[in-house]
Structure 1
Amino acid sequence: MRFRAFIGAFLVFVLLPAAVVYGHGDAAPQPVDTTGLPPLGDAWVASNPYRNDAKLHDTAVEIGSRGYNSNCARCHGLEVKSGGMAPDLRELGEGETEDAWFITRVLNGATVGGRQKMPPFHGLLNQEAIWAIRTYIDAQPN
C-alpha cells in the first residue's frame, strides 16, 4: 500500500508538472504562410513595406498575427502585451531607425551575459513574414 501511495505521489508531484511545463512544445520557430503578400525579393528592404500600403496593410496584420502568436508571443506576450519576461514591443517606434533595430534583432537574435535570450530567425522566416509580424506589432494599441 505504501508503494502505491509513493507511485501516486510521484506521478502527481513529478510527472504532472513536467507535462505542464513541456506542454507548449520545444519552442522551435514555426514557419509563417505569407500567401497574399507579394515577394519582396532577396535583398532586405530597409523599412516596413506594409506600414503605409493601403492594399496590403490588413493582409500583413492578419499574417503577422499568426506569425507573432506562433513565434513571439511565448516571450513577448499575447497581443504584444509583455508580462515582463521580454521587452514590450508596443513601445518600439514606427520609423526607419526602429525598423532597422527590429530587423537586426529578429535576424540575429539576442544574447545577454553569454545566454541566448532570443533565437535568431535568419534563414527560418522570410522577410515577408518578419515585416508582417512588425506590421501586426505596430497595429496593437499601446
Structure 2
Amino acid sequence: MNTTTTGRILLGGAIAMLALTCGPQIMAHGDMVPQAVDTSDLPDIGEEWLQKNPYSGNARAIEIGTSAYNQNCARCHGLDAISGGIAPDLRYLEPGESGDAWFVERYRKGSSHDGRVLMPPLGDVLGQKAGWAIRAFLETKYTEE
C-alpha cells in the first residue's frame, strides 16, 4: 500500500471517528442544559401550579423572564421570541388566562411527537416562578396575526 492510500484511509477513519463522537452534539437541535434562573426577587406564589400568571405586568418579573428566556428558550424559539421557523413563534401565544393555561401546560410537560422530544419539560427543572416570569416577558412581545 502506498503512502497516499494509507493517508486517505487514516483521514477517512479520523473523519468517521469525529462524526461518531461529535456528530450528535453538533447536529442535534435543542440539546441543551437548562440554565438556572434566580427568582429570589419575585413574590412567592406557593408550590401548587397556578393557571393564571401572577407576574403579568410586573417589571422585575419581565426583567428576570427576559434573561431566563434568552438562556433557555431563544435557542429554539428565536431571539426576542421571533422564531426562525424551527419552533413556534411565541409572539403569537394567546394573551390572557387561556394563553396562560396553554403556556403552563407546555412549559411543565414539554412536547413530543413520534418519540421525539420537541420541547423538554421545564416545570420541574426551572420551577413555577421562572416559568411565569418567562410568560410575563412573552406578554410584552405579543403580536396579533
TM-score band, normalised by shorter chain: 0.7 to 0.9
Query: What do the CA deviations read for 1:63-86 (whole angstroms, capped 9, x no partner)?
Result: 001111111111100110001101
1:46 and 1:103 mapped to 2: Cα distance? Answer: 7
The count of aligned residue pairs is: 138
TM-score (norm 2): 0.78
The equivalences for 1:7-46 within 5 A come to 21=26, 26-46=31-51
CA RMSD of aligned residues (A): 2.9
1:81 aligned to 2:86? no
Q: Quick check: which has more Rg, 1 or 2?
A: 2
What is the aligned-residue identity percentage? 44
Cα distance per residue 1:42-94 (max 9 Å; x no partner): 11122111114xxxx11011100111111111110011000110111110111
Partner of 1:108: 109
5+ residue gaps, structure 1, are none
Ranges of 4+ aligned residues in structure 1 off by more than 4 Å:
1-12
SS in 2 for 1:111: strand
Aligned pair in 2 of structure 1 residues 109, 8: CA closer, same or farther (>3 Å)?
A: same
Partners of 1:66 and 1:8 in 2: CA distance: 43
Aligned to 1:27, the other structure's residue is in SS state coil
Contact 2:65 2:134 in 1 (8 A): yes
Q: TM-score, normalised by structure 1?
A: 0.79
Q: How does 1:61-140 map to 2 (within 5 A)?
A: 61-140=62-141
Change (3 A) 1:66 1:10: farther
